[in-house]
Amino acid sequence: MVKGFSDNEVKNDPEIKESQKAKKGLAAFLKGKKFTYTLPGKKQINIFGSIVLGLNMILILLVILYLKNQEFHDFIFNVGR
């Protein structure tokens, strides 16, 4: 006899089989649908990359302005209130 196993046969309870409920809501709606994902092309990757890099540069510029320019610092401080 292997450790962790018994000689008795395991019987499945009928309650477990009956406890499976029908899917409701969004799960029932998506049950028959098939979704496919396609990788973006080079043009789309370049567009999103350009947007991300541009926004990062703007953020860095604004942080530098915030730290170096007292008028801009006061403007941001007063707008935030």
**CA–CA gap between residue 14 and residue 52 (Å, rounded):** 56
Query: What's the domain range around 74?
Result: 34-81
pLDDT in tens, 1-10: 556 666 666 5
Could you tell me if residue 81 is inside a domain? yes
Instruction: Tell me whether residue 10 is in a domain.
Output: no
3 located within any domain: no
Quick one: pLDDT at residue 33?
73
Q: How many CB atoms lie within 10 A of CB 35?
A: 5
Q: Tally the domains of the chain.
A: 1
Taking alpha carbons only, the member of 62, 54, 57 closest to residue 79 is 62
Q: Looking at residue 3, what is its pLDDT?
A: 62
Residue length of the chain: 81
How confident is the model at residue 60, as a pLDDT? Answer: 98
> pLDDT tens digits, residue range 19-62?
566 667 777 777 777 777 788 899 999 999 999 999 999 999 99
Within a domain: residue 8?
no
